[in-house]
Amino acid sequence: MRTYKLYATLSNADNLANVTIQRTGRIRSIRWRVDCRTCKTDGQTATVELSTIPSTNIGTSDSRGDIDEFKVNANVGAAGSTLVSMCSQVMMDFPVGVGERLYINSNSTLTAAYVTCYVDVAE
């Protein structure tokens, strides 16, 4: 088992982080962590995607390259500031080949937000 780590500051952008698969194998799990340290506006959101394509397919039907996706919302009270933190693990069986690249793409309005993605591959 080999773990690949992707880390990025969230923004509304493609290819925030990427890694190259070193050996043919199967993705067995993906572990996500997102942190927003200074959410000050109600209704801020982030949708983050792990993909084999360096451009987002978030909100697209029948898209290619998508492996996993999650969304987080920040609901700020009248006081005007909150912290958002989320951890998640997804079990799967997804084939990957040597030299294939994995990308983090995002649509985000969160302020000072960060994502870490661990991809566990059985080689």
Q: What CATH number does the domain containing 76 carry? A: 2.60.120
Q: Which two tokens stand for residue 119?
A: 């991809």
Report the residue count for the chain: 123
Weakly modelled stretches of the chain, pLDDT under 50: none
- pLDDT score recorded for residue 19: 98
The pTM score is 0.88
d(CA 121, CA 112): 30
- Position 41 scores a pLDDT of 65
Domain range for 74: 2-122
> E strand or H helix at 43, and its extent?
none
Q: Which amino acid is at 98?
A: V
**Residue 46, token pair as written in the block:** 């982030």
At residue 60, the pLDDT reads 80
Number of independent structural domains in the chain: 1
